[in-house]
Amino acid sequence: MNRSPLAPAAFPELPAISGVELRVARAGYKTWERADLTLAILDEGTAVASVTTKSRCPSPEVEWCRRALVLGRARALVVNAGNANAFTGNRGRAAVEAIAARVAGALACQPSDVFVASTGVIGVPLPIDKAEAGLDAAIAAPIAGWEDAANAIATTDTFAKGASATAVVDGRTVMISGIVKGSGMIAPDMATMLGFVFTDAAVEPGFLQKALEDANDTTFSCITVDGDTSTSDTVLVFATGAAGNRPLGHAEDTGADAFRAALADVCRQLAHLVVRDGEGASKFIRIDVDGAESNRSAHRIAMSIANSPLVKTAIAGEDANWGRVVMAVGKAGEPAERDKLSIAFGGIEVARDGLVVEGYDEAPVAAHLMGDEIEIAVDLKLGDGRATVWTCDLTHGYIAINADYRS
């Protein structure tokens, strides 16, 4: 598969996280000749937080993680690529239980300390024999790097995705590194695809959960590729505590704001990388909505624009068809007044107060749309609500990839 034209030049240098060991192996879930199973071994006492899909048809892995999350601690993470193990009934649940038991036996921990995520084709039970053989190979494998792990969790991704940030907490510099996979079936209503973030900061589970939920609201939950929410969407954050800071437990703690900002930064970087690898994407699109009656209303309008096939195909064709943006605003079901609405492309206002701007010259707008970084701004002039979401265009490549997905 060709590398996305929006991909960064190279995988970034991510700092190692003390208390985290990454290992990869080939379980053989599909015919590809690469690692497709990732194992992260975590120090005892590692705190965990998670956001998962709001799909009413979640995978057994999602259900397992939700139950395990109540305890707030983790010793391991297992990620399977190529098979989502979703809509697989008791066989799917049995596979997750077998995986957790296998890892728990190797690490002398409880199965509930093992978090599991899978991604790939829906409706095919995860083969337990391949999973167990892959786990045995991973446990015996040498320690892997971030890029190896990022590649091993991928499916239709065209490049490995990783990001990092640092923060000063209690006088100590703490590290945050994360990887993510995602390219299609992206319209998170919680988090997105599969994303895994690790930090050496000492953080209480409750505070870590709140920090992740807040970060998610303005990052993973603000991206879309195709409007489809997966059965398996999961983001997990693990905090090993190896940095030695006094554990963060409250918003008023020293360094709490810095940690939250750094975590949000990593989540935002990862979210943008997913959009940049949108199936068939050729343009990265930022949509800003201001002047809505509430932030929630602004978000719904922004997502209506971002998910519109007509808007996305117009951008793909470099067509400054702002009428399609008007359409998407109007269909969102949120308060909007036609005669107050204004629209801009690339900072150039094209419509104001419900009319095309007098003397409108489409040439500079067309020039903006020829680039690969597109900006659309809408001002409703109704209130103080605002939101930003990110998406990509819709091209023939998306159809080609998904028409052949199972073959």
Q: Please list the active-site residues.
A: 192
181 marked as part of a ligand binding site: yes
155 marked as part of a ligand binding site: yes
4 marked as part of a ligand binding site: no
Distance of alpha carbon 392 from its chain centroid, rounded?
A: 14
Return the structure tokens found at 126. 């995860």
240 marked as part of a ligand binding site: no
The angle subtended at Cα 217 by Cα 271 and Cα 14, nearest 5°, is: 35
279 marked as part of a ligand binding site: yes
407 marked as part of a ligand binding site: yes
Q: How many CB atoms lie within 10 A of CB 145?
A: 14
Residues belonging to the binding site are: 155, 181, 192, 279, 402, 407
Which residues are part of a known binding site for substrate? 155, 181, 192, 279, 402, 407
